Amino acid sequence: MLALSAASVYLLCCTKTARMARISRAAAIFEKNRKTDLHHISSIEDARALEGIEVGVSDWIVIDQNRINQFAEATGDFQWLHVDSERAKQELPNGKTIAHGYLTLALVPALTADFVKVDKLAKAINFGCNKIRFYTMVSVGSRVRARAVVKQARKRAGALMLTSEVTIEVEGEKKPACVAETLGMYFFGD
C-alpha cells in the first residue's frame, strides 16, 4: 500500500494555498485508493497530486532462458552472452547467460500496468523515454520487479503527459538493473 505523507506532498508545492490544495487532493486520492492499491486518475489535477509519490511496486517475475531466447529471436540479437549457456558457464563471472538490457526495459509496460488507472481513457500513447541507464546485469533465473514514481504531470496537446521514473530491481542485488524516465500520454474520453 502506498504510504502518503503530507510532508512529501508539501515540499512539492510553491505557495501556501497551492501546498494546502495539493495536500488535500493527494490525501483524497490516497483515501480513494486505500483498498485497491490502484491509483485512479480522473484529471490532470489528480495526476499532479501524485508528483513525487511512489505509485506502485510490481510482483517479482523470473527471467528464464526461454524469455531471453524469444527476445533474441524477436530482435535478431543473438550475442552469445544472452543465448549460449555453455559459453556463459566458461566466460561469464557467474557462469550464467544474461538478459538483454532492452529486454529489461521492454518489461516496463507489463510490470507497471496496475499502478495507475486513467478513468475515461480514450487512448494512451508511449511517448518514449528521456533517460535510460542499465546498472547491473540480469542473470538467467533472476527475479525482477518494477517500482515507479510520478515525476511530473502536465497538460500537453489536450492530454495528460505523465513523466515517471521506473526502476527495475533485481532480487538480491544492491544496484537496479535499469532506471528509465518514461513518458506516457493519456487522452481522456467522454
The pLDDT of residue 38? 84
> How many residues would you count in the chain?
190
> Does residue 143 form part of some domain?
yes
Assign 140 to helix, strand or coil.
coil
Residue 1 lies in a domain: no
Domains: count for the chain: 1
pLDDT band at 185; cut points 50, 70, 90: very high
Quick check: is 48 in a domain?
yes
- Model confidence pLDDT, tens digit, residues 16-69: 454 455 445 544 544 444 434 789 999 999 999 999 999 999 999 999 999 999
pLDDT, the chain, mean: 86
Tell how strand 143-156 and strand 61-62 pair up. Answer: antiparallel
Residue at 110 is within a domain: yes
Q: Determine, yes or no, domain membership for 17.
A: yes
What does the block give as the cell for 55? Answer: 505509485
The domain spanning residue 115 has which CATH number? 3.10.129.10
Judged against a pLDDT cut of 90, whether residue 13 lies above it is answered with no
Q: Is residue 44 part of a domain?
A: yes
Helices and strands (H and E) in the chain: how many: 8, 8
Provide the domain limits for residue 160.
6-188
Contact 154, 44 (CB under 8 A): yes
- Residue 174, in any domain of the structure: yes
Confidence band of 190 (pLDDT split at 50, 70, 90): confident
Segment 110-150, tens digit of pLDDT: 999 999 999 999 999 999 999 999 999 999 999 999 999 99
Q: What is the pLDDT of residue 11?
A: 32
Helix (H, G, I), strand (E, B) or coil at 22: helix
